[in-house]
């Protein structure tokens, strides 16, 4: 009986120590914002963000077509990263005039992208 209590106390002590260490590590990671990038990668990321461009886009969410513009750059992994997204127009995907509305909205998105890219180039 006494031996069982001693084993239980040891198990609880080990679990308590693991909880304390885990919470300490979690707090330290949250305080520093995780691992920071090396200076070379930070410079590459800053250069990619400086070269970010606005591009037209569209998608469908819950039966609604969205036409939008996205500011994108190439991430460190070589894939596009969306930095900003602005919805220009929405309309039902089953709208009888969908083709016309979509064509007009995409033309407006292309115009808006050209304007935003020209503004940022100055």
The predicted-structure confidence for 28-85, as pLDDT tens digits, reads as follows 666 555 457 788 888 888 888 888 999 999 999 999 999 999 999 988 888 889 999 9
Distances (CA, A) of 99 to 21, 66, 88, 112: 59, 13, 16, 20
What pTM does this model have? 0.64
**Spans of all domains in the chain:** 1-36, 39-121
Q: Which helix (H) or strand (E) holds 13?
A: helix 2-32
């Amino acid at each position: 009986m006494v031996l069982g209590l001693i084993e239980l106390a040891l198990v609880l002590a080990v679990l308590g120590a693991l909880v304390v260490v885990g919470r300490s590590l979690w707090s330290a990671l949250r305080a520093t914002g995780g691992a920071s990038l090396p200076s070379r990668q930070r410079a590459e990321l800053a250069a990619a963000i400086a070269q970010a461009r606005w591009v037209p886009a569209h998608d469908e969410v819950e039966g609604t077509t969205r036409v939008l513009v996205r500011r994108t750059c190439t991430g460190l992994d070589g894939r596009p990263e969306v930095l900003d997204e602005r919805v220009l127009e929405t309309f039902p995907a089953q709208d009888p005039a969908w083709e016309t509305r979509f064509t007009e909205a995409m033309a407006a998105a292309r115009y808006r992208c050209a304007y935003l890219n020209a503004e940022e180039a100055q």
